[in-house]
Chain A
Amino acid sequence: MESNIFSLKQLQNWMQGMLVHHEPLENGNAEVPVMVEHVVNSSERLSAVKHLDIYRYSYIARLRACMQSQFSALAYALGSELFELFADQYLDTYPSESYTLNTLGEKFPAFLEETRLDASQEEKETWPDFMIELAGFEYALSVIFDERANENNTVTPNNTPDELLKPAPVLHLFHYQYPICDYYLEFSQGKEPELPFPEESYCAVTRHNYKLGLFTIRGAQYYFLKSMQQGNTVENAKNDLIKTFNFARIELDKIWPEWKKSFIEAGFFVAKNVKGP
């Protein structure tokens, strides 16, 4: 066979197909399937196929390892065997299109949702819901960790007047059907958390000195902080809670100093710059 069976582009397509899809997507300009032996040299110790196999094996192993580091809590929760199975299927369905590995797992939570085994059944298992939420949370953490933002590095005094408080530049709020944040924290502290039962949960993630802070919060606090993120003042966010959740004004005013103290300590708030007279 003539050795220049491929143009450069065809050859790259062929090799990438062998790596990513385990087989060539197209066969270049050849009418019969192209044999590895026609493209790759054999050597003293290895056949052409074995040479190519080194790349094929490394391709999936290396990206699987990246998925494992990006979703370490999920890998623990699923067990390594099941995690690998999902990761391999994912990489097969959504091969990387980015120059950076940091976004490798971007579509993984959606992929888990799309491919859940009970997708077509009416009665759904609950554990996939937990896994999907955990995957989403882990990916979000990796994004927040490296997002461009003004770092929350100023100290906000506890006695800052309410009207000068605003949400910190890095403050992300999450609402889940499982205790995701608690599970993640336990895992990251080296404990071995068990698969949790469904339980609605809320959490806030901040970044201080480039390190993430994870806090489980209450539902009312979640909606309060959301309201402030939409541009409301403390007073208006309080009114929102009263209106939407039938909170008693008197109860809210009683609990507010406690909220304020813990929110400031957790870094949820910064003080507005006051300028002018």
Chain B
Amino acid sequence: MIEQREKYSDLIKSLPNPGLGLGLRSKHFNYILENNPEVDWFEVISENFMDSGGRPRHVLRQLAERYPVVMHGVSLSIGSTDPLNKEYLTKLKLLAEEVKPLWISDHLCWTGVNSLNTHDLLPVVLNEESLKHICNRINQVQDFLERPVVFENPSTYLTFKQSTIHEYGFLRYMTEETGCGLLLDVNNVYVSGFNNDFDPVHYIHQLPHDRIVQMHIAGHQHCGTHIIDTHDRQVVKDVWNLFSLAWQLTGGVATLLEWDGNIPEFDVYHNELLKAKQHMSSILVVDQVTETQEHGEEAVSNPVDFLVNDVVVN
């Protein structure tokens, strides 16, 4: 067990930094295939491709030959008290054999219980009981996939009375107990920090930086009393500042811009990502998007409708 953990841990530490990446979205399939844009790598949502026998899988096969790919999942449900879904894990493993991703990631969350799936990344209780439960499941998943898995801090909108450990500490224990890696979503830290009254800067300082293999940046909607992680717009100044901090502390890791709602044309998406280059050093950056508040009932966290196939009719 300890041997396995060391092995996974070493593997995590030896992962490369492929640079600045984008999420692969069906809206951009044709553009990417025709133009071969100079993107360092792509992140693909595993669930979108694991059952596909049609166009999504066909496109992914071609892209995986041209670009490094990372597989990012939303249905592992590592925190659930349901048994692990063996069918899902089997398909995940098969897809990985085909795509050969640099790594496989998912979230510190649960998505449902009693065989239901809410398709949301629900917050886990942060205490010793759940830490033990989750580490046990991470071990099982990693042994089944025969590789370490990378876990992302989700955006959260509540905390439980039963929680006794801070999220950064929980993530640190996870890495120590299982050898898993971390995906630091700096926007999620910002969102969760605002919603649950914690300091995002302190949070980022407390993480085990040598276990962070990837970062996410994204836009969000500020609703005054709370922030919703909408992934539907540009990144705000405060989040770029957190990115700069995390870049310094980690020494620079693979970075990906998430954009899942109101998905813009490819070059707009790519240009927003490239702004990251200006934030890799601490030199002052001008022309940043500052926070504006927008009240409205429409904001939805972690939008998922982009995960439904767009049927293409000739």
Given known A-B contacts A9-B81, A11-B125, A210-B54, A66 and B161 have beta carbons under 8 A apart? no
- Which residues of A in the span 49-78 have a Cβ within 8 Å of any Cβ on B? 50-52, 54-55, 57-59, 61-63, 65-66, 68-70
Q: Which of A16, A48, A59, A99 contacts B114 (CB 8 A)?
A: A16
Whether B157 and A62, one on each chain, are in contact in the complex, defined by CB atoms closer than 8 angstroms, is: no
Whether A62 and B119, one on each chain, are in contact in the complex, defined by CB atoms closer than 8 angstroms, is: yes
Whether B226 and A46, one on each chain, are in contact in the complex, defined by CB atoms closer than 8 angstroms, is: yes
The verdict on A211 contacting chain B, using a C-beta distance below 8 Å, is yes
Q: How large is the interface on B (under 10, 10 to 19, 20 to 34, 35 or more residues)?
A: 35 or more
User: A202-231: contact bitstring with B at CB < 8 Å (1 yes, 0 no)?
Assistant: 000001101111100000000000000000
Q: Which of A58, A142, A208, A210 contacts B301 (CB 8 A)?
A: A58
**Residues of chain B contacted by A208 (CB below 8 angstroms):** 314
Q: What total of A-B pairs shows CB separation below 8 Å?
A: 183
Q: How far is the CB of B210 from chain A (nearest CB, A)?
A: 30
Whether B52 and A45, one on each chain, are in contact in the complex, defined by CB atoms closer than 8 angstroms, is: no
Cα A39 to Cα B159 with chains together (Å): 9
Whether A54 and B309, one on each chain, are in contact in the complex, defined by CB atoms closer than 8 angstroms, is: no
The verdict on A98 contacting chain B, using a C-beta distance below 8 Å, is yes
Whether A6 and B162, one on each chain, are in contact in the complex, defined by CB atoms closer than 8 angstroms, is: yes
Task: Give the number of chain A interface residues (Cβ < 8 Å).
Answer: 63
**Residues of chain B contacted by A8 (CB below 8 angstroms):** 81, 125, 129-130, 133
The verdict on B68 contacting chain A, using a C-beta distance below 8 Å, is no
Mark the stretch among A146-154, A157-165, A172-180 that contacts chain B.
A146-154
Chain B residues at the A interface, C-beta cutoff of 8 Å: 47, 50-56, 58, 75, 80-81, 85, 88, 110, 112-120, 122, 125, 129-130, 133, 157-162, 195-197, 225-226, 228, 297-298, 300-305, 307-314
* 10 A-B interface contacts by CB (under 8 A): A3-B162, A8-B133, A11-B125, A58-B301, A62-B301, A62-B304, A68-B305, A146-B51, A146-B309, A212-B312
